[in-house]
Amino acid sequence: MSARLDIPLAEPLVQQPAVARAWRGAAMLVLAAIAAAALAALAVAAWLHATRPAIVPGPVGQWYAVQVQNGQMFYGVLREAGPRQLQLGDVYYVQPFTQPDGRQGNRVVSRERNDWHGPTSLTIPVDRIVSVETVGGESQLARLIAQDQGRAAK
């Protein structure tokens, strides 16, 4: 024998008119579109931030002095300032030496001509750069480089 329990059901919920359901659906669609647009804007902003240069020392084609973390200074023409690196061309550095009379001196050395592998550019990771400065056109360094380039052309 099975006993059947008759439980009275609660009154059915009041049915909302079709117009109210349509408005709620439209509002949900608008909110979803706004959320999608906000996410797209955030993605574009993140992409732009990741692709812009971390260091913008100045115009490409000018001479700059770049100091790296180990204290070494490189002097060269800026070719590219990327989001993760700085690229110099016509790179020079200063090499200390001892003169025959025992005094200390420095000489400006061209990497392209004097390094065994003859590099044409130097790419420096941005996280290794301490400072970047413009080399003045009338500075002693600029005159030494111009003098060296004049000798190299002969």
State pLDDT tens for residues 14-30.
566 766 777 888 889 99
| pLDDT at residue 109, rounded to an integer | 78
Model pTM above 0.85 = no
What pLDDT sits at residue 153?
60
pLDDT value of position 2: 59
pLDDT for the residue 147: 86
How would DSSP label each residue in the chain? Answer: -------PPPPPPPPPPHHHHHHHHHHHHHHHHHHHHHHHHHHHHHHHHHHS-S---S-TTSEEEEEETTS-EEEEEEEEE-SSEEEEEEEEEEEEEE-TTS-EEEEEEEHHHHSTT--SEEEEEGGGEEEEEEPPTTSHHHHHHHHHHHHHH-
Sequential pLDDT tens for the chain (154 residues) = 556 666 665 555 556 676 677 788 888 999 999 999 999 999 999 888 777 777 778 889 999 999 999 989 999 999 998 888 999 999 998 887 888 888 887 777 777 777 777 788 999 999 999 999 999 989 988 888 888 888 766 5
pLDDT at 43: 93
